[in-house]
Structure 1
Amino acid sequence: MTTIGSLCSGLGGLDLAAVDVFGGQLAWWADIDPAAVTVMTAYHPHAPNLGDVRTVEWQNVPPVDVLCAGYPCQPFSHAGRRRGTEDPRHLWPWIARAVRVLRPRVIVLENVAGHLKRGAGDVFADLAEGGYLFAWAVVSAGDVGAPHVRRRLFVVAADTARDVPRGRLVGGPPGRAQPSDGDITLGGGLDWGKYTDAVRGWEHALGRVAPVPSFETDRGTHLLTAPFVEWLMGLAPGYVADMPGLSRAQKLRLLGNGVVPQQAALALRLLLPQLASAQPA
């Protein structure tokens, strides 16, 4: 069985994609955010949380076949200060240390597209120095039919000393609804205006109508609902929105920092064949 390790796990969207493409299950994961810990513990009770990636003694951690890491995007995001590798939240050096010790067969990385201009060169250099063949692509959530752009950089690397796995060419991340066979009410009765076609397309892809996007407060303002953002992210109903013990703010922050599983799975299926064809004979 394929074993998967997850660093900076968040809500586990990158891991869902890895399981979809490679099969297997999560052996361990690492995160320190309380909301992420709550969600990951609920869905992966068999897998231990290694905690802070900066303090893990990797020689004591069981090796895995696939290592996933969606490390913090704030150092590279256009919305931040763009301090890149000078930002104390830049965790790649510690992930690189894990790679050097564990030597996973495949590495799957995710970050914002702005990482290409700030810091990705160091990542690529470390992978090449470690004997990994890699390929990258910027994939949008819209590429899988989601009604938002969310451009993300995906990097897939494979150990050149071992065969590159092609993965499963078709499928969908576990826990999500199957595509609709036409028995849902398009648009859910809400007026989506110019976004109607985009919303209806994602409804068909997920097999369920879009939740109510906002609610009105006592002050007359409108706030996003967690179920709607969860739907935008391509997750199963209640995956985060119904998680006990989390505030609305925690749910929205976790979802906002998460990975759309379908988007990540598409990136894997695009990049793995490139690695296989480029591998030395």
Structure 2
Amino acid sequence: MGADGPRIGSLCSGYGGLDIAVQQVFGGSVAWHVENDANAAAILAHHWPEVPSLGDLTAVDFALVERPDVLTTGFPCQDVSEAGLGAGIAAGTRSGLWLHVARAIQSLRPSLVVIENVRGLLSAPAHSDMEPCPWCVGDGSGKPALRALGAVLADLARLGFDAEWACVRASEIGAPHRRERVFVIAWPAAENPDFEPGVERGLAAPGQAPRGWSWADARRRGRAPSADALGVRSRRREGAGSLAGAARADASQAPERDWGATPTAAGDDAPLDWGIYRGAVERWERLTRPAPRAVDDRGRLDPPFVEWMHGLDAGHVTGVPGLGRNAQLRALGNGVVVRQAEAALRLLLDRAGLLLAA
């Protein structure tokens, strides 16, 4: 437990977006990163030079690292993405790294786990013996009996964690693109006689203050609206809730700022013409900052524009020395929209009854 809030352990860190979202909700500080990609690691080292990088997830001995209060992970999505290979979670695949994430959870026993992945997690197969009955879960003969999200939730339950999950689109919080993602939170289950003996628990149950910090900090700390402000109520009170109206509420509450002149196209004094996308662009501008041009001088997608679409500060990725255009786009494509993750985290905490009245 740090002096300024929970300590955060970050697996498959990317450019650090999920960690930033957790800090927006709880405060705290990052204890360590685990990131094997050299370009992503360069971004992390640029912004968090004091935070140790533990390198390859498959080689980390978690018995030797600081135990975090919150563990975040956006494990590789390529094999569960509709844009990827569709291989799901299986040994030898990139998304098979989930098995190492589960190993980390088992060893570290954090008070909260925060997971982000693509929507394909709902439909990609998982090669697991957690559900041996092929007609109970899955598509039938000859196909894996468990979906990727089911494997994640089953592993969490087996490790003694309760969980909540939801699909949240970036557009629901005002972003000018859909970018639908699955978010999962998990916390140690309360003592329950129905659990098999031998599962180590002993951490705080929901509603208690785990290791010196309070779930109520989530209401007091965040810069984005609370779950209530987003029109979300606890499932235990009014149903599952949604993020409907979040972007409108955010935009209506955003202070008026003088951004100066509207950005212009390269070599042209005329303002950028966003055409049918003007409303979406201007809404996100009100929530973030002015949009840069979308394409470079060669007519290619410009990384600073993607960075803006993700709601990042200018230069968070594109200002890191030594990263070329392709490396920047790859890091951004694999990254997390911070406002989206923050809204999802507040929604899930509220659903789970883990946000207490401040």
Match of 2:120? 114
Quick one: which of 295, 302, 306 aligns to 1:214?
295
Match of 2:258? 183
Deviations 1:194-219 (A, max 9, x none): 0000000000001x2100110232xx
Question: CA contact under 8 A between 2:26 and 2:217: conserved in structure 1?
Answer: yes
CA distance in 2, matches of 1:167, 1:72: 30
Q: Offset of 1:187 from its aligned partner?
A: 5.6
Matched, 1:259 2:341: no
Q: Offset of 1:162 from its aligned partner?
A: 1.1
Question: CA contact under 8 A between 1:66 and 1:106: conserved in structure 2?
Answer: yes
The 5 Å alignment of 1:230-269 reads 230-269=307-346
Question: CA contact under 8 A between 2:7 and 2:69: conserved in structure 1?
Answer: yes
- C-alpha distance 248-136 of structure 1, shift in aligned 2 (>3 A): same
Q: Which moved more, 1:111-120 or 1:146-155?
A: 111-120
- C-alpha distance 187-202 of structure 1, shift in aligned 2 (>3 A): farther
- C-alpha distance 155-187 of structure 1, shift in aligned 2 (>3 A): farther
Match of 1:145? 174
Q: Secondary structure of 1:85's match?
A: coil
Match of 2:223? 171
Match of 2:195? none
Q: Offset of 1:193 from its aligned partner?
A: 0.4
Quick one: which of 63, 77, 87 aligns to 1:83?
87
Match of 1:162? 204
Q: Secondary structure of 2:278's match?
A: helix
CA distance in 2, matches of 1:192, 1:172: 27
Matched, 1:105 2:180: no
Deviations 1:3-60 (A, max 9, x none): 0000000011001001111110000011111111111011111211111111111110
Q: Where does structure 1 lack aligned partners over 5 or more consecutive residues?
A: none
Question: CA contact under 8 A between 1:187 and 1:200: conserved in structure 2?
Answer: no
CA distance in 1, matches of 2:300, 2:162: 45
Deviations 1:83-104 (A, max 9, x none): 1123521210000000000000
- C-alpha distance 75-186 of structure 1, shift in aligned 2 (>3 A): farther
Deviations 1:104-134 (A, max 9, x none): 0000000001101221111101111111111
Question: CA contact under 8 A between 1:186 and 1:203: conserved in structure 2?
Answer: no
Match of 2:41? 37
TM-score, normalised with respect to structure 1: 0.91
Match of 2:145? none
Q: Which amino acid aligns with 1:104?
A: P
Q: Figure out how many residues of one structure are paired with residues of the other and give that number.
A: 270
Structure of larger gyration radius: 2
Q: Which has the higher contact order (CA 8 A, sep 6+)?
A: 1
Deviations 1:145-177 (A, max 9, x none): 00000000000011124144254234149xxxx
CA distance in 1, matches of 2:85, 2:255: 42
- C-alpha distance 269-167 of structure 1, shift in aligned 2 (>3 A): farther
Q: Secondary structure of 2:58's match?
A: coil
Match of 2:287? 205
Matched, 1:133 2:210: no
Q: Where does structure 2 lack aligned partners over 5 or more consecutive residues?
A: 125-147, 190-202, 207-214, 226-252, 264-270
Q: Offset of 1:69 from its aligned partner?
A: 0.3
Q: Which amino acid aligns with 2:182?
A: L
Match of 1:15? 19
CA distance in 2, matches of 1:228, 1:167: 33
Q: Secondary structure of 1:249's match?
A: helix
